[in-house]
Amino acid sequence: MVKPDPFGFDIRVKSDKKKRSRGKRGMSGAFETSQRVCEHPGCEEAGKYRAPKSPDTLDDYFWFCKDHVREYNLKWNFFDGTTEEDLQGQIDRDRVWERETKPFRQSAEERAWARLGIDDAHQVLGENATRNPGKGNGGGRRLPPTERKALEILDAKDHWSKAELRKAYKGLIKVLHPDMNGGDRSDEDRLQEVVWAWDQIKDSRNFK
């Protein structure tokens, strides 16, 4: 047994359905409780079906019987009077659910470059904008620090073959060795560096 609500409210589902019976819409789209008469000239049937009056007032309706609402819908065109450009614009907006992507706001720095007629700050670098030559050795290969130092001593590039490096080594030996320059020993320190550099390179697997 359901106790009566002291505040006078009936929260039962059955009771709520009874309250909503007014204006209830059937499966066919008809408003069964409508008391209107079909608005088609000369028709006396009940106007249980609604149809929008125009694309600009979609919440304002004509009321027709079933036959005349079908006739009205066949003739009604949402885009009637719309230009080709407006129609294409509507199609484009519908593709993104009328939530178009907005461009990012330019930063203060980008606006400053734009005033100078430059879209991308890297343009001021010209052809070198996308080049990264590395630290003077041409290739930017990953080498152990000792081998990188050896290349600097031999004034060589890291893409050279071992034969090319040997040739550079021999060229420096001819210049620095006392037997080759009349017994001058002033370059002995430099000579020791060159010999050390070749020792790092000759057994390395990083050079062909």
Mean pLDDT of all residues in the chain?
Answer: 78
Interval 4-44: pLDDT, tens: 666 666 667 666 656 555 555 655 678 888 889 999 999 99
pLDDT confidence bin for 116, thresholds 50/70/90: confident
* pLDDT at site 118: 74
CB neighbour list of residue 76: distance below 8 Å, 6 or more residues apart: 51, 52
Please compute the mean of the pLDDT values over residues 177-205 and round it to a whole number: 78
CB neighbour list of residue 91: distance below 8 Å, 6 or more residues apart: none
- Neighbouring CB atoms inside 10 A of 93's CB total 12
pTM: 0.34
CB neighbour list of residue 176: distance below 8 Å, 6 or more residues apart: 187, 188, 190, 191, 194
Q: How far apart are CA 40 and CA 151, in angstroms?
A: 96
Please compute the mean of the pLDDT values over residues 69-80 and round it to a whole number: 86
Interval 119-138: pLDDT, tens: 776 666 666 555 555 554 44
